[in-house]
Amino acid sequence: MVAEVGIRPEEDGAYGLSAALHVELAGVDQATADQFVEAAHKVCPYSNATRGNIPVTIDATVA
């Protein structure tokens, strides 16, 4: 997994954080990889702590 954390401008002129998570899985099809990543994002403590506070994008790639 690769995590990218960035700084983005907000509407009020301040700056906020953003995150992008890129997950690579082997041995499963794309639909299953997408389901695994989405399920993990729902229960991850870090995801739960930041949910609604910073924008997070997630993608899964099958190797």
**Helix-strand-coil split of the chain, %, nearest 5:** 30, 40, 25
CATH architecture of 2-62: 2-Layer Sandwich (3.30)
Confidence of residue 57 (pLDDT cuts 50, 70, 90): very high
Q: What's the confidence (pLDDT) of residue 58?
A: 95
Domain spans, the chain? 2-62
Provide CB contacts within 8 A for 16, sequence distance 6+.
7, 8, 9, 10, 54
pLDDT band at 21 (very low <50, low <70, confident <90, very high): very high
Which pLDDT does position 19 carry in this prediction? Answer: 95
Total-model pTM: 0.80
Q: Which of 16, 61, 10, 13 is nearest to 34 (CA)?
A: 61
